Amino acid sequence: MIFDPSVLLRISLAMAIPGVFAYISVMVAALTAPGNRHVRIRRRYLAGGLFVSFIGVGMMAFGAWSAREDSRYDNVVLIGLMLMTLIGGGLLLLGFGPFASWLLEILGRCAERLPLPVRLAVRDLASRRATTAAAITMTAMATSFGIALTIVAVGMTTQDRAYYSPSARPGALVVKYFSAEQAGAVRAAIQKELPGVPIAQSESPREYRHFGASAENLDPLEEPVYPHEVIGDEALLRYITGDQSTPYDEGQAVVVVNADVKVDSVEIDYDVTGNNGPLASKTIPAIVARTVDPNMQTIFVPTKVVRDLGYRLEPEELIVDPSLRRISASEQERLDSRLGDVAETYVERGFQASISWLPVAAATLLIALYGALTTGYGKTTNARPGRVLRRAGDGSTATFRWFGASRAGLSAACGTVLGAVAGCPIGMLLIWPLTAPAIWEDPPRVPFETPWLTIAAVVVGLPVLAAALGGFLAREQADSDLSVSRRAA
């Protein structure tokens, strides 16, 4: 199971519940912020936020613990666990509302020993705590969403990679899902697009008739490409083994394995009447051949043997052996265009991790960056722009750029730290109900990998990028403030 856009859609819809709480958290940040930097935030706001966050973490932990088993879950139970975890994540985000003001308060106490542009940036942020706290909280909420989505996506990708089962040999082109009447046209289209390339063909009985092959000393393989037996021609045998020198006899079966076994014959159970009566059986000679791909282990039965039993066969798959020709993506596209809706093509390229979640994660980080930059808009230092420039030194544009960079970088740092603290537990706990098996075929879970390096890159890189943009965008505001300052002087 590959991480596809439908999974991304379900995750995005699931984020809607925490999104409502995140929006309320931004409003709480603005309402609980003191009017100026000299007033401390009320401790009851912080205590209440911690209490709400602890409740949220507890609900998420209970949901993850309840979904820890690899046994199949009922759909109603899964929905309940998912809602509990999502509401818990929302409460965790809601409790973080008052903490943006608290961080600004801590920065204000530590700003005395910082360089002058940084010190003035801290004071400017703390002087407008109602607006800057809301902007920082928006950065924190967006960062937490991006980090949580990254953790979930990486964990689900690890799960899918561990249990990926190929449908052909690596690099093989497989054309299937065509009718018997269209088989000739499909083969002609392949030969026209890939001239001179040999085409292997697997076949199946035209009507439903039982057909099975078995051999002693042969253990069944879990999730092979061909579950039990395969019927085909000489080219198909060479494709399965990956060896063009594999001996072929139209009256002899070939047991294709990847281990040392001894097999002299294969027993075929069949019913050509279709009356569900007793199965007839026939024993044919067999040899053993190794394969280069362990997923291709099967029992190969020549077409002539099956037809001699009375079966009418029709082509099931047309295959281009990767040992003879590797198919590029452009060649597959041209063949798809030529075939249209007549058949379906597939090229086995191994596990392909989906990146469809990256645009959503990138969008959340852009929102976080925007929230950090909005702290630099509007009036500066209590509606006295010239005062900041004069205290920052000579009032030059370069000095104001350092001031703008410090202001944007600090606000982004506060937001990303809060976002990482909230996003990591949300992602690490949400992945348990998201990967809980709902059907019998779902594989057991593997250990999840937390992308700590990516999280660290976001926490460090976002403030640096915000500082760079804040310094660059401060030029126009500096020119405007200098003009106002000169007029006021």
Q: Beta strand 200-205 with 344-347: parallel, antiparallel or unpaired?
A: unpaired
CA distance 26 to 45: 14
Query: What is the per-residue pLDDT for 69?
Result: 82
- Sign of the CA dihedral 460, 462, 468, 470? negative
Query: What is the per-residue pLDDT for 379?
Result: 44
Query: What is the per-residue pLDDT for 180?
Result: 87
Distance of CA 19 to the CA centre of its chain: 20
Query: What is the per-residue pLDDT for 377?
Result: 56
Structure tokens at 142: 């967006």
DSSP string, 195-246: TT---EEEEEESS---EEEE-TT-PPPSS-SSSSEEEE-HHHHHHHHT-TT-
Query: What is the per-residue pLDDT for 7?
Result: 52
Each residue's pLDDT expressed in tens, for the chain with a length of 489 residues: 444 454 555 555 666 788 888 888 888 888 887 776 667 788 888 898 899 999 999 999 998 898 888 777 777 787 888 888 889 988 999 998 888 888 887 777 776 777 777 777 777 787 777 888 888 999 999 999 999 999 999 988 888 888 888 888 888 999 999 988 899 999 999 999 988 889 999 998 887 778 888 887 676 655 678 878 899 999 999 999 998 888 999 989 999 888 778 888 888 888 887 677 678 888 899 998 988 888 888 899 999 999 988 888 999 999 999 988 888 889 999 999 999 889 999 999 888 888 888 888 899 999 999 888 887 654 444 434 445 545 555 556 677 778 888 888 888 988 999 999 999 999 999 888 888 877 666 777 888 888 999 999 999 999 999 988 888 776 555 555 555 445 554
121 and 82 Cβ atoms separated by less than 8 Å? no
CA distance 153 to 8: 9
Structure tokens at 122: 């801290």
Q: What are phi and psi of 56, to 5 degrees?
A: -60, -45
Query: What is the per-residue pLDDT for 378?
Result: 44
How close are the terminal C-alpha atoms of the chain, in Å?
Answer: 69
Q: Count CB neighbours of 16 within 10 A.
A: 10
Residues in contact with 42: Cβ distance below 8 Å, sequence separation at least 6, in sequence order: 32
Q: Beta strand 280-290 with 229-232: parallel, antiparallel or unpaired?
A: unpaired
Query: What is the per-residue pLDDT for 36?
Result: 67
Query: What is the per-residue pLDDT for 441?
Result: 67
Query: What is the per-residue pLDDT for 57?
Result: 93
Residues in contact with 74: Cβ distance below 8 Å, sequence separation at least 6, in sequence order: none
